């Protein structure tokens, strides 16, 4: 089973590349951001709980996020593997994922980080905001907050998985199909 973490800052192209990878490798794509947005749109209690954090570009508390992630995995017992996109974003989320997979006799196969410079991220996100309908893509202060949260709280997850050689970086700038090929090379070597 492949358990791939597609990692990287907001705007690094995780969602775009995940859709291509899903097709090629037949994995289930789990984006915690998409799951939260689905709940926001449908005004569920989970959506209500998450709303204030998402609107400010803060992380939703670990307990809520971990529970949602586990439920999604449990709903899909028969898949060939997972692409975790936007999860884990904190060390406690990483520990919870490891423990959860271990209970199933599984582990994280690889963490692949899409590496993109900051200036490029800001302009990509502002540009995406014109069409994404996402309030958190429209305001440069909120975007900056998301980038800061990534650096301070989320980037340590890369080093957490580096300890057992599970983390690699892939250059996330260039034509989409070139970036896709770089990702495929990493996945094919699992």
Helix (H) or strand (E) run with residue 46 in it:
helix 45-56
What one-character DSSP code corresponds to residue 11? T
The contact pattern for ligand AMP, residues 39-58, with x = CB under 6 A and - = no contact, is --------------xx--xx
How many angstroms separate the CA atoms of 106 and 79, rounded? Answer: 13
Q: Which stretch binds ligand AMP (CB under 6 A): 17-25, 32-40, 107-115, 159-167?
A: 32-40
What is the smallest separation between the CB atom of 188 and ligand AMP, expressed in angstroms? Answer: 25
* Contact predicate 47/40, CB 8 Å: yes
What one-character DSSP code corresponds to residue 44? -
How many angstroms separate the CA atoms of 163 and 28, rounded? Answer: 26
- Six-digit token string for 101: 């997979």
The contact pattern for ligand AMP, residues 86-115, with x = CB under 6 A and - = no contact, is xx-x---x----------------------
- In this complex, which beta carbon is closest to ligand AMP, that of residue 118 or of residue 178? 118
What is the smallest separation between the CB atom of 169 and ligand AMP, expressed in angstroms? Answer: 19
> Which residues are marked as active site?
14, 89, 128, 134, 146
What is the smallest separation between the CB atom of 189 and ligand AMP, expressed in angstroms? Answer: 26
Q: Name beta bridge partners: 111.
A: 5, 167
How many angstroms separate the CA atoms of 107 and 32, rounded? Answer: 19
End-to-end CA gap in the chain: 10
- Is 129 a binding residue for ligand AMP by CB under 6 A? The answer is no
- In this complex, which beta carbon is closest to ligand AMP, that of residue 13 or of residue 27? 13
- Is 59 a binding residue for ligand AMP by CB under 6 A? The answer is yes
What is the smallest separation between the CB atom of 85 and ligand AMP, expressed in angstroms? Answer: 7
* Contact predicate 155/88, CB 8 Å: no
- Is 65 a binding residue for ligand AMP by CB under 6 A? The answer is yes
- In this complex, which beta carbon is closest to ligand AMP, that of residue 108 or of residue 136? 136
Sheet architecture: strand order including 110-115: 28-31, 81-85, 2-7, 110-115, 167-171
What is the smallest separation between the CB atom of 142 and ligand AMP, expressed in angstroms? Answer: 9
């Amino acid at each position: 089973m492949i358990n791939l973490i597609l990692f990287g800052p907001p705007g690094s192209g995780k969602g775009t590349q995940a859709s291509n990878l899903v097709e090629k490798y037949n994995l289930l794509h789990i984006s915690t951001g998409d799951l939260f947005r689905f709940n926001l749109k449908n005004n569920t209690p989970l959506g209500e709980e998450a709303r204030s954090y998402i609107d400010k570009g803060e992380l939703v508390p670990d307990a809520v996020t971990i529970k949602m992630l586990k439920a999604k995995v449990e709903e899909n017992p028969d898949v060939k593997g997972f692409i975790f996109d936007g999860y884990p974003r904190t060390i406690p989320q990483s520990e919870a994922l490891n423990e959860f997979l271990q209970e199933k006799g599984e582990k994280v196969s690889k963490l692949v980080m899409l590496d993109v410079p900051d200036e490029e991220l800001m302009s990509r996100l502002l540009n995406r905001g014109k069409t994404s309908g996402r309030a958190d893509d429209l305001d440069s202060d909120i975007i900056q907050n998301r980038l800061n949260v990534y650096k301070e709280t989320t980037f340590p997850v890369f080093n957490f998985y580096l300890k057992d050689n599970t983390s690699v970086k892939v250059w996330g700038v260039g034509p989409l199909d070139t970036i896709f090929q770089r990702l495929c090379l990493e996945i094919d070597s699992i």
